[in-house]
Amino acid sequence: MLETLVNVNRMVKSFRRGAEEIHVLEQLDLQVGRGEFLALMGPSGSGKSTLLNLIGGLDKPTSGTVAVAGEAVEQLNERQLAAWRARHIGFVFQFYNLMPTLSAQKNVELPLLLTQLSARQRREHAAAALEIVGLTHRTSHYPSQMSGGEQQRVGIARAIVTDPTLLLCDEPTGDLDRKSGDEILDLLQALNAQQGKTIVMVTHDPHASARAGRVVYLNKGQLLLEKPE
């Protein structure tokens, strides 16, 4: 059995919307092994992003616990969480979310600004990450000068440049055509297989989830191992 990297335990998350209380996650349990590539599926509004955010320490659970590599994430305060995210988590977003004012190289260097690395080291690390995603020839381009697939590869380079423990991808191919999407999935698969990166990927696309080692379905606040009918 794999070592457990992510351990979500009896997680409850609800939101208030006016007088109404929306229960998004109800007593949810999830374990992700180190080195696993997990796909998280489910209908729109089922709480996939919410779960991903909770694992990544972007939000606090209403109750329950999240541990990542033994760290009780829900216990950390804001400052500790930020530092923890910088060290352990790489986020990949559906709409890439690159800084439009920065070149690919500078976008990838962003998370490194939070480390003690020198300017030269930052440059080298970013160049290495861009090489992994196959964008060595695009380092000085700005997001607006790149295709969606290329931007997402920059997004992945930015996520892996700090060598995080865990990659959290929220619909990374959701905005891409089939071909570019496939390239991104190839890349994630390679990162998982060759570099041993643990990946949790939210997707709507069965084609994408097929690339993952395991698929779970989120429905009515609970996780299912089978696609619900």
Partner 1 sequence: MKFLPLVWRNLWRRKLRTLLTILSIAVAFLLYGYLAAIRAGMETGVTVAGQDRLIVRHKVSIIQLLPVSYLERIRQVPGVKEVIHSTWFGGVYQEPKNFFPQIPVNPEEYLRMYPEFRLPEEQKKAWLATRTGAIVGKKTALKYGFKIGDRIPIQPTIWRRSGATPVWEFDLVGIYEGADKAADESQLFFRYDYFDEARSEGRGQVGWYVVRLTDPGLSEEVAKKIDADFSNSPWETKAESEKAFVQSFAKQVGDIGAIVRAILTAVFFTILLIAGNTMAQAVRERTGEIGVLKALGFSNALAMLLVLMESMMVAVAGGGVGLGLAWTLIRLWDPTGGALPVFYFPVNDLLIGVALTLLLGLATGFFPALIALRLRVAEALRRL
Interacting residue ranges for partner 1, rule: CB under 8 A: 49-50, 53, 56, 58-59, 78-79, 82-87, 89, 91, 93, 95, 97, 99-102, 106, 110-111, 113-114, 119, 158
Listed in sequence order, the residues at least 6 apart from 103 whose beta carbon sits closer than 8 Å to its beta carbon are 139, 140, 141, 142
Q: Which of 224, 171, 173, 155 is nearest to 44 (CA)?
A: 171
> Per-residue string for binding with Mg ion, 157-196, x by CB under 5 A?
----------------------------------------
17 binds, among Mg ion, partner 1, ligand ATP, none (CB under 5 to 8 A by kind): ligand ATP
Residue 38 belongs to what H/E stretch?
A: strand 37-41
Site residues for ligand ATP, window 43-72 (CB under 6 A)?
A: 44-50
Amino acid sitting at position 12 = V
Q: Does 50 bind Mg ion (CB under 5 A)?
A: no
| Helical axes 148-160 vs 178-195, angle rounded to 10° | 20
Nearest CB to ligand ATP, comparing residues 130 and 184? 184
> Per-residue string for binding with ligand ATP, 11-30, x by CB under 6 A?
----x-x----x-x------
* Total count of residues recorded for the chain: 229
Q: How far is the CB of 171 from Mg ion (least distance, A)?
A: 7
Amino acid sitting at position 166 = L
Q: How far is the CB of 145 from ligand ATP (least distance, A)?
A: 28
Cβ atoms of 16 and 62 closer than 8 Å: no
Residue 160 belongs to what H/E stretch?
A: helix 148-160
Residue nearest to Mg ion as judged by C-beta position: 49
